[in-house]
Structure formats: structure tokens, C-alpha cells
């Protein structure tokens, strides 16, 4: 429910209407997540069996006292098998909320996935009678069934390990917990052995000592390695890395990125890498998704995005990054203007007020996705050949 456009203030009546609407909506979506469903109810056909995840028209919102925040507003993209897909964009563009939607970790009851499909290509279902690959629709999957794949098939490396690791339990206890949940038949000795193997795999030289340590006794780089070890414990098919190097110094950042790259090749998994650092994307990713104000505005291979950027926002992001030959006397480029209010999103292009290539057609409906090549797509009227 959108608030009425009367400046920045709400009347008491409007505020009560919003609260009443929020309660009704939150109860409805929470009930859906707790419903008893059979596997058939959330089984879906994959559009391409070579994709591990297919996101189609995803809408994730937050019900607030000021109105409904459209955090993810119709996002669609695929994550192919054995590939690294980089998701880039400025803060607040919906990168992390998209990843949390895949994991069913959006903060509820305020945050809810209200529309769209998240197709996960599982090996459990096989093919239908027409030889179509079957998967799970995570958007319709009950919470209690999501426990079976979250932390095992799909795992996440969170942005700040100190807030993700429990300070009152040892590293070993928290690592063991992953296998106790997903492999209950394993003995304590086998679980400990497996946890130590994971610590060795992520480059920790004294695994026994780290196993017995508490999170505060480790450095930032060590804690991030522990988070990667937890993500690898269940032999995942998709790892979501949400800003995995933000809180680390440059040397440790390089080590963590090299570690992720080697692990991806070693276990042949896919990685969804979320970052605002274009340098990391250029080094790590095979495909790039550029997001702005809850939408995908450009997508393509890493060569497409870096060698031939099309959207004015993507070009602005690249100009904002300092280069080695940049004149130190010139200020860094910054994109002018502000992101539109996510509660009252306009009907036209969201980047219109900040764009230096804006034209009359930009005042019409939001642009569709235009094909530049077989791998490169952009949502901008500059590439509407039929409309010119």
C-alpha cells in the first residue's frame, strides 16, 4: 500500500490504514509459508537444465509504517551451473535482498516475497514425462522444507563474519552443527574430522587450535575463512557470497578471492558474488548483473559489461572507479542526483532524473529489456530501435 503524496507527512487516518493493510498482508504471506504442502505443490519445470537458479519476476517488499517498500521490484536473471555470477550496484539497489530471498532469509514478518519464481535445479526430482528438468520453486516452498536445502545445497557467506558467528560458541561447535543438521547419521568423531578437513581446505594452518577457539580470538581474515568453511561443509551446489571482502584489508581480500575461485573450480559449484567493487567483479565473474533501485538494468558477460557498457548507470559506475592513471588533482566522478523513494516508485525509468542522456520517451512507461547481443541485454530507451 502506497502512502499518498502529501509531502513527507501522513495523517493519523492514513497511518492507521497502512498499519491495518500491513497486518493483513503479513498474516497472509506468513500463513502461506507455514502451510502444509506436498512436493508437487512447489515442483516446477526449469527453463534451462544448465541453470542452477532461475529468478523470474521476483518481487520482495517490506511492510513499513510509511508504506510498502519495493526492495526487489521484478528482478529476473539466471545463475548457470559451474559459473560465477557477479551482482553489482550501489547500496540499497536490492542485491542483498535478492540473495536473502533465494535463501528464504528475508526478515519476516515485515519482509515478504509477494510475487515471482525462484526455480532451483535439484537432483532430487529428475525429469518429467516430456523430459523437462524439474526443480523446486523456492518462492512457494514452505519454510520447514527449505531447511533441507538451505545450508546444504545452497549456502551463504555473509558480509560481516563477526555478526554471523555466535560469540558464545566455539568455531568447532558451530561447524559441527552444520553436519549434525544435514547428516544426522554421522558420529561425533566423523563430524569433527569433517570440520577439521574443511578448516584445512580453506587454508587454516592450525585447524585444531581454531576449532577450539571462539570467534573473538580470530582475526577478520580467519573468521571469513571459517565462514567459507561452514558454507562448504554440506558440499553446496550454489554459494552466495555477500560482500565477502568488505571488512578486510587489501592483502587478505586477494587471498579470500583466490580461495573462492579455487574452491569453485575444485567442487564445481556456482557462486553468486554480490559486491560494489567493480575490480572484484572483473577478476572473479563470468557473467554480470547490474542492479538499480530494485531492478536489473543491464546484464551480460563480464566482457560485455566492461568493454561495451550500454546503460548510462553502468557507464557512470565505471567512471566512478579511480584508475592508476587518474589525475590526482581532479575530483572523483560521482553520479548526480538520488535514488527515487522505494515507497512511491515512478512509472517511468527510475534513472531518468540522474541520466545525462535522458530524452522525451524516458517519461513514458519503464523501458523493457532490449537485446544488444545473444549475451547482452539492457533496459534503456536508447536502444529501442523500433521506437526511433
| pLDDT over threshold 80, residue 314 | yes
Domain ranges, residue 298? 12-17+20-153+236-323+331-383
Q: Residue range 334-357: average pLDDT?
A: 88
Question: Is 219 inside any structural domain?
Answer: no
Which of the 8 DSSP states describes residue 8? Answer: B
CATH number for 141? 3.40.50.300
127 has which bridge partners? 133
Structural domains of the chain, count = 1
Q: What is the pLDDT of residue 351?
A: 93
Is residue 119, in this structure, part of any structural domain at all? yes
* pTM as predicted: 0.90
Residue 193 resides in a domain: no
In a domain, 374, yes or no: yes
CA torsion, points 83, 161, 203, 152, in degrees to nearest 10? -50
Which long-range contacts (C-beta less than 8 Å, at least 24 apart) are formed by 199-204? 199/171, 199/175, 199/225, 199/226, 199/229, 201/229, 201/232, 201/263, 202/226, 202/228, 202/229, 202/232, 202/259, 202/263, 203/255, 203/259, 204/229
Domain annotation covers residue 114: yes
Q: What is the pLDDT of residues 75-102, one digit of tens each?
A: 999 999 999 999 999 888 999 999 999 9
Residue 196: pLDDT band (50, 70, 90) is very high
pLDDT at 161 over 90: no
Task: Return the percentage of the chain with pLDDT > 90, whole number.
Answer: 59
Amino acid at each position: 500500500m502506497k502512502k499518498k503524496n502529501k509531502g513527507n507527512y501522513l495523517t493519523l487516518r492514513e497511518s492507521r490504514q497502512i498499519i491495518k493493510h500491513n497486518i493483513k498482508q503479513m498474516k497472509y504471506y506468513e500463513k502461506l509459508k507455514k502451510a502444509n504442502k506436498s512436493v508437487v505443490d512447489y515442483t516446477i519445470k526449469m527453463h534451462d537444465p544448465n541453470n542452477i537458479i532461475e529468478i523470474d519476476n521476483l518481487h520482495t517488499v517490506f511492510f513499513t509504517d510509511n508504506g510498502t517498500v519495493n526492495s526487489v521490484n521484478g528482478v529476473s536473471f539466471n545463475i548457470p551451473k559451474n559459473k560465477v555470477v557477479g551482482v553489482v550496484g550501489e547500496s540499497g539497489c536490492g542485491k542483498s535482498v535478492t540473495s536473502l530471498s533465494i535463501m528464504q532469509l528475508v526478515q519476516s514478518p515485515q519482509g515478504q516475497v509477494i510475487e515471482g519464481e525462484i526455480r532451483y535445479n535439484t537432483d532430487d526430482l529428475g525429469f518429467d514425462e516430456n523430459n523437462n528438468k524439474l526443480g523446486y520453486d523456492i518462492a512457494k516452498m514452505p519454510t520447514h522444507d527449505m531447511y533441507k536445502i538451505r545450508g546444504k545445497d545452497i549456502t551463504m557467506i555473509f558480509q560481516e563474519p563477526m555478526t554471523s558467528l555466535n560469540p558464545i560458541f566455539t568455531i568447532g561447535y558451530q561447524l559441527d552443527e552444520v553436519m549434525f543438521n544435514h547428516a544426522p547419521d554421522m558420529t561425533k568423531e566423523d563430524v569433527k574430522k569433517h570440520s577439521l578437513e574443511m578448516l584445512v581446505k580453506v587454508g587454516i594452518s592450525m585447524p585444531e587450535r581454531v576449532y577450539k577457539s571462539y570467534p573473538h580470538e580470530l582475526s577478520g581474515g580467519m573468521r571469513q575463512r571459517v565462514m567459507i568453511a561452514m558454507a562448504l561443509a554440506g558440499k553446496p551446489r550454489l554459494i552466495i557470497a555477500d560482500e565477502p571482502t568488505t571488512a578486510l584489508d587489501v592483502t587478505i581480500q586477494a587471498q579470500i578471492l583466490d580461495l573462492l575461485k579455487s574452491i569453485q573450480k575444485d567442487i564445481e559449484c556456482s557462486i553468486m558474488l554480490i559486491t560494489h567493487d567493480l575490480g572484484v567483479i572483473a577478476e572473479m565473474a563470468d557473467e554480470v548483473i547490474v542492479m538499480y533501485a530494485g531492478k536489473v538494468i543491464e546484464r551480460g558477460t563480464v566482457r560485455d559489461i566492461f568493454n561495451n557498457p550500454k546503460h548510462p548507470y553502468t557507464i557512470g559506475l565505471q567512471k566512478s572507479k579511480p584508475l592508476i592513471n587518474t589525475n590526482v588533482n581532479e575530483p572523483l566522478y560521482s553520479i548526480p542526483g538520488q535514488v527515487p523513494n522505494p515507497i512511491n516508485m515512478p512509472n517511468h525509468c527510475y534513472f531518468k532524473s540522474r541520466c545525462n542522456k535522458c530524452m522525451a520517451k524516458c517519461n513514458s512507461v519503464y523501458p523493457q529489456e532490449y537485446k544488444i547481443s545473444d549475451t547482452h541485454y539492457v533496459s534503456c530507451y536508447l536502444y529501442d530501435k523500433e521506437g526511433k
